[in-house]
Each structure stands twice: as C-alpha cells, then as structure tokens.
Amino acid sequence: MKTSSLFSIAVLSLICTVSVAQDRDRDRDRNARPATRDRSPPAQVLDQRFNHNRSYPARGAMVQDLPRGASVIRYRGSPYYFHGGAWYQSQGPRYVVVRPPIGIVVPFLPSFYTTLWIHGAPYYYADDIYYTWAPERNGYIVTDPPADAETSATTPESESEIYVYPQKGQTEEQQATDRYECHRWASDQAGYDPTQPPSEIDAVTAKSKRANYRRAETACLQGRGYSVK
C-alpha cells in the first residue's frame, strides 16, 4: 500500500508539472502574438494633393518599433520622432503616427517633398503637412496651411520629381543634406533653379536649362553614392 501511494503521488506530481508548463507556454505564446502583429507595417495612405503622389503611414496607426534612423525632435518638452515625412509619438510601449504640432522645427525636409509657391512665398509640402524655412532657427517649421492653398499654389518643377535611392546606407538626414547641396550646385552650374517661380525666359531656353540642371544634379548625386531614376 505504501509503495502504491508513493507511486500515485509521483504520477500526480508529474501531471501537475506538465500542466503548469503547458499553461506557461500558452501564456508566452499569447503574449508573443500581439507583438508580432504590431511589427507589421502600418497601412499606407497615398497623398495625391499637388501631384505629390507619395504614400505615408496612416494617422493613428500604431507600431511596435520606430523606423530605423528616425530623428528625435523635441517640442515643449515632449519628444516627437520624424522619419520619411511621417511623425510619431510614444504611447505606452508603442508609437502612434500623429500630425505634428504647428511650430515644431525639423532641421531637414524629407527626401521627397513638393515645393509650392503661394503669394510669392515658398512652402514645402509632404504628407498633408506644410513647412516653411525659418532662418533664425536654421530649420523648417511646421506651419498652418495657407487659407487658399488649393487655388493659389503653383508647383514649379522641383527636385522631388526624380527618384533617388541610397546605395551606401546613407541616413535620412544625410540624404536630405546631399540632395539640397546637389540641388544648389546644379542650380549654380545650369543658371536655373526649378524650385523658383518661372522666369521670363522663352520655352526653348527654359527646357535647355532644365536639362542641364538635371544632368548636373544627377551627376552630383551619383558621385555621392546614389542611384538616380
């Protein structure tokens, strides 16, 4: 009898151990599954305003991790995260895609943007956000949309119309710097700036200058390690 009782106790102990282990595994799987879903890319929204034609993460989308290379931009004591024209803010252990506050300043524009001229002043547009250059702050400030932007904006040919792909792992900030510097250099070489309002030159001369500008810009970017299409 004593041997039988000991055997029964051992069997019950083994069953309890297996049950606890199975419960622990189920809990671990249950906790792991949401994290896997969170890491899937957020839904993309195509921005076609002003022929911008670029896709961005949907506002309100949650992500487990920030995009690699995201920049931290502080505004009134709160950190925001900027990458590829999209803005993020922390929410618990995750991050949510948000609209940036008016007045926040970013040191560089996204790699792709559209230049708008509204009442003689340049605005830079990406992901339904308008930026203007703030020289006193050495950066681009998020600003209110001009009241009549839809009807008064003109979109001269800009450097955002070409597609540039980094081949040496350049960061987003480095890409923006290289594109701006190549744009300035190409403008000086060609005597033509596509981000400025159309000048009083004939169509044939303008076409020739645009072609020279594009060749100079492409050569500059390729020399810095980019593929240009």
Average pLDDT over residues 40-44: 79
Is residue 93 scored above 90 in pLDDT?
A: yes
Least confident piece of the model among 30-39, 127-136, 170-179: 30-39
Sheet hosting strand 129-134, strand order edge to edge:
105-106, 139-143, 129-134, 121-126, 114-118
Which pLDDT score is estimated for 40?
A: 67
Q: Which residue has the tokens 């008064």?
A: 152
Is residue 194 scored above 90 in pLDDT?
A: no
Confidence of residue 175 (pLDDT cuts 50, 70, 90): confident
Which pLDDT score is estimated for 197?
A: 63
Average pLDDT over residues 43-51: 91
How many other CB atoms sit within 10 Å of the CB of residue 1? 5
Write down the pTM of the prediction.
0.64
Confidence of residue 167 (pLDDT cuts 50, 70, 90): very high
Buried b (16+ CB within 10 A) or exposed e, 190-202: bebbbbeeeeeee
Distances (CA, A) of 8 to 1, 12, 17: 11, 6, 14
Average pLDDT over residues 186-203: 78
Q: Of residues 104 and 110, which shows the higher confidence score?
A: 104
Is residue 183 scored above 70 in pLDDT?
A: yes
CA distance 175 to 160: 12
**Tokens found for residue 57:** 């993460």
Which pLDDT score is estimated for 96?
A: 97
Given a contact cutoff of 8 angstroms between Cβ atoms, the answer to whether 182 and 194 are in contact is no
Average pLDDT over residues 165-181: 85
Long-range (24+ apart) CB contacts under 8 A made by 144-150 are 144/102, 146/118, 146/119, 148/118, 149/116, 149/118, 149/123
